[in-house]
């Protein structure tokens, strides 16, 4: 089974991808929700790292010097991905992450892990992206550490919906910063794969749920 399909089932089984009635942070009523805070075991972290590693190997050419995980959810993701790249693909990459508040004692600074150098090619590892606020916060952190090249942003799911304007958050990041985002899966891939398909004996997207998701994308999608 391709990693995208495995990842969709993985999210469902972990209770990360759920269906029902939810309100997003922006106040939209959505029929599905993704809560990556529901990953909680070592086995889940190991498998999640593999999915991110698979996505990097499929989409981003060699020559990456480091993975960067924005605090806080990006921290375990970047570490798990670095481990998976080493164990599964034999690619031993550096990783680093930022503190929310700069440390004023010891070595000081706001960065932990690998010390970025001018010219390094960095991949940002994040969970989900909505308005792109976290990216606007972490890019100055990276650029202040060194004159790095951001080779890409990897996220778990592209919801394929507008931010505050007519572009999606992913499209806005490309326009504002020239950074390409690589999602493990898109909401369209989720719909297409799970529609009328049983996962552990249960159908999560039947005709009614598909119609609700399609209507949501008609209203807010790009």
How far is residue 183's CA from residue 205's CA, in Å, rounded to a whole number?
21
List, in order, residues 6 or more apart from 183 with CB less than 8 Å away: 55, 154, 155, 156, 157, 158, 170
Active-site residue (options: 29, 103, 117, 143): 103
- What single string gives the DSSP state of each residue in 120-133? -EEEEE-SB-SSSH
Specify whether the CB–CB gap between 78 and 67 falls below 8 A.
yes
174 assigned to active site: no
- C-alpha to C-alpha distances, 93 to 84, 90, 132, 136, 147, nearest whole angstrom: 10, 9, 26, 24, 18
Q: Among candidates 36, 34, 27, which has minimal Cα distance to 219? A: 27
* Tokens 């550096």 -> residue: 94
105 assigned to active site: yes
Active-site residue (options: 25, 100, 105, 218): 105
* Catalytic residue IDs: 103, 105
């Amino acid at each position: 089974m391709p990693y995208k399909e495995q990842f969709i089932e993985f999210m469902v089984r972990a209770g990360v991808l759920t269906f029902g009635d939810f309100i997003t942070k922006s106040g939209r009523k959505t029929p599905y929700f993704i809560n990556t805070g529901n990953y909680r075991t070592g086995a889940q972290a190991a498998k999640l790292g593999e999915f991110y590693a698979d996505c990097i190997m499929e989409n981003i050419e060699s020559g990456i010097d480091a993975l960067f995980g924005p605090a806080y959810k990006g921290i375990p993701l970047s570490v798990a991905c670095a481990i998976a790249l080493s164990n599964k693909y034999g690619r031993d990459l550096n990783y680093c992450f930022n503190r929310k508040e700069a440390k004023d004692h010891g070595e000081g600074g706001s960065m932990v892990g690998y010390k970025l150098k001018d010219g390094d090619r960095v991949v940002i590892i994040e969970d989900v992206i909505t308005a792109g606020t976290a990216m606007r916060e972490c890019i100055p952190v990276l650029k202040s550490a060194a004159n790095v090249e951001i080779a890409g942003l990897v996220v778990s799911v592209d919801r394929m919906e507008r931010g505050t304007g007519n572009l999606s958050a992913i499209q806005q990041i490309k326009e504002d910063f020239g950074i390409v985002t690589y999602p493990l899966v898109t909401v369209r891939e989720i719909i297409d794969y799970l529609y009328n398909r049983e996962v552990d004996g249960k159908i999560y997207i039947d005709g009614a749920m598909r119609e609700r998701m399609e209507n949501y994308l008609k209203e807010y999608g790009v």
